[in-house]
Chain A
Amino acid sequence: MSKIIEVKNLTKSFKTGDKELVVLNNMSFEIEEGQFFSVTGRSGSGKSTLLYQLGLLDHPNSGEIIINGIKVSALGNEERTKFRLKELGYVFQDYALVPELTAIENAAIPLLMQGFGKKEAYQKAEKALHRAGLTDRLESLPNQLSGGEQQRISIARAIAHDPKIIFADEPTANLDSETANQVMQTFSELNSGGQTIVMVTHESEYARLTRRAIKLGDGVIVADGKPENVI
């Protein structure tokens, strides 16, 4: 399988006062296309930080990130935004939906931004919502929907434009276990269809449902492999 993400000597640190906290320390790894990849580790180990670097939401101090053969760590802000729009999808822990937009509108905005006409964007958005498991209440506003339903919209928004990679940061953390399992089920189905997914979770129960896991600790990868071996 070809590599979709290559990380080389990635370092990210934060300055707090005069102390420097190195969260990711010279980290290198690769993720294959079509992988269902989870990042685990205890709280504060740098899982989210790593995801933000990979998802082009933050700039590393040093090191390289290559996605689909493009050295994305060298891109400027505007190009990063365009890259995120075209190639990446995000699912956040708190759903991060735009409150004034209905379910279908939320899922459609990245498509509208890509230049799709309204009709086509809505069709694609609706299809994505169905795939994410939301078949009705598409005209409802986020605050009229349950957490699980909102997370499905968030997933639909992430997949509607067929991104190369989906990034998800603790997508199940705010959900009850039954809903969380349904969301994981959706991810598994997407992955079966060839979708690359990178998911952060601190719950071993959900890491176990992925195909490859890494565990972070002290800024480095302390374990890498089949989830059941890593946890």
Chain B
Amino acid sequence: MQKQKRKIDEFLISFKLGFFLAIRQMRRSNKATTALIIFIMTLTFLNLVVVRGVLIGIIEGSTEIYQKYSTGEVFVSELRQKSYIENSPSMLETIKTLPWVESFSPRYLERGNIEADYKSRIRLTDAPNSVGAIIAGINPVAENNTTDLSSKIIEGKFLSLGDTNYILLGSSLLKKYMPMDSASFTSLRNVKLGDKVRIKVDGNTKELTVKGVIRSKADEVDFRAYVLDSVLRNMIGRTDYNVNEVAIKLKAGANPIVVKDALLNSGIGDRARVQTANEALPKFIIDVKKTFAILGDIIGSIGLVVAAITIFIVIFVNAITRKKFIGIMKGIGISAQAIEISYVFQSLFYAIFGIGVGLLILYGFLVPFINTHPIKFPFSDGILVAKAGATFFRVFLLALATIIAGFIPARIVVKKNTLDSILGR
């Protein structure tokens, strides 16, 4: 007991003296060197947070796009073996009554074929200018309320109620926006606004005028063609009004999981698949998301090691060049602990200032800047994801690495023979 108390007292004294020494050593050290070390710490911190943040942000961006323009926060779709959601009208009634639902868009879907230039095609043996696509029948008002899809029109106009002779084409169906061609992957050539195209669904054909082109960067949206729900319903003879999917937009703050559970509890689960936006993501995005997170962690870990080595070298050089004074201090009775603590404080100082500057740059500049100027990727608009929890964890990691990296070299030098240190041997 007594001995323990003495140890604690000694530690407190060493702690105070270590702080005393560290402050003075830093205050009287070379300002440029200090600034450089802090700069390195800042870069390391940003490397740790930003690289991962951008990698995840790319995916987060595409996740957001999927949620926003395709699935909504909660997504109801047909069961795997079924070609539609049975008893859809009553399901839609149920959805309508849920208090969290802001709006929802039921969609009819059918695989079909879109052909252009069929009038100028001379010989039947000529390859048609056509593309296979999923034709979606939508209520444009409900769709727009739910997914704001009209904001993604890049040519022409969005559908209006009554546009029974018009079609919207997803940009990926057009060669202009999808310059890829292979036997298995075709697209429409030279189709302009106002051109007539012929859609063939379920053995029925209909001639429609191209009203607009849509591009959201979500494949699910961009590989589809959109017509009015009534048009498609008639073509496929869906007289029972059974739809294939419903995108649901929730009121701000509503929890998608709660809504999903509510839908499942109402028995809809027997007829349809109910998913939150995250669950409804295409598999490739989920895979890429995982891969990028791992990649970000690997790059971050390397950054962490580099930071630790940097601090190690800085403190080691500092301690080695001050070996004589360390020896003298030990000679006159200053404890090894106090001297080690003084170096831990110094490295902590570098870490705190480096991280502080890094946080300032991160939240004061980078995050808001990238939010307003997203990084353009083919499949998303990348944002910088730096959630407070994850950032704080990295701050903690970096500080810990710094403390250890400062302590070890200090200890190495402090452990050297006192007299040898004093005499510079």
Q: Which residues in A have some Cβ–Cβ distance to B below 8 Å?
A: 52, 57-58, 81-86, 88-90, 92, 96-101, 105, 109-110, 112-115, 141, 157-158
Contact = CB atoms under 8 A, between A and B. Distances in A.
A119 B159 CA distance: 82
A112 B20 contact: yes
Nearest to B28: A100
A99 B17 contact: no
Contacts of B328: 92, 96-98
A98 B329 contact: yes
A115 B9 contact: yes
Interface in B224-249: none
Given A58-B419, A109-B17, A84 B25 contact: no
B43 interface: no
5 contacts: A84-B332, A84-B333, A85-B334, A92-B328, A158-B332
Interface string B405-425: 000000000000011001000
B422 A86 contact: no
A85 B333 contact: yes
Given A57-B422, A92-B328, A112-B17, 15 more contacts: A57-B331, A57-B418, A81-B336, A84-B332, A92-B422, A98-B21, A98-B325, A98-B329, A99-B28, A100-B21, A100-B27, A109-B17, A110-B333, A112-B16, A114-B13
B419 A52 contact: yes
Q: Which among A81, A88, A100 has the highest number of chain B CB atoms within 10 Å?
A: A100
A57 B333 contact: no
Contact of B338 (A58, A113, A157): A113
Given A81-B335, A101-B24, A113-B334, A96 B422 contact: yes
Interface residues of B, number: 27
A92 B9 CA distance: 30
Contacts, number: 72
B402 to A, nearest CB: 21
A112 B13 contact: yes
A113 B27 CA distance: 21
A109 B24 contact: no
A99 B325 CA distance: 8
A97 B329 CA distance: 9
Contacts of A57: 331, 418-419, 422
Interface in B295-352: 324-325, 328-336, 338
Contact of B332 (A90, A99, A100, A115): A90
Contact of A110 (B24, B334, B418, B422): B334
From B28, B333, B419, B422, residue with most partner A Cβ within 10 Å: B333
**Nearest 5 CB-CB pairings of A with B:** A85-B333, A84-B333, A100-B28, A96-B328, A57-B419
Nearest to A82: B333
A110 B332 contact: yes
Contacts of B330: 81
Interface string B8-26: 0100011011001100110
A52 B327 CA distance: 13
Interface in B276-307: none
A40 B325 CA distance: 27
A92 B324 CA distance: 12
Contacts of A58: 419
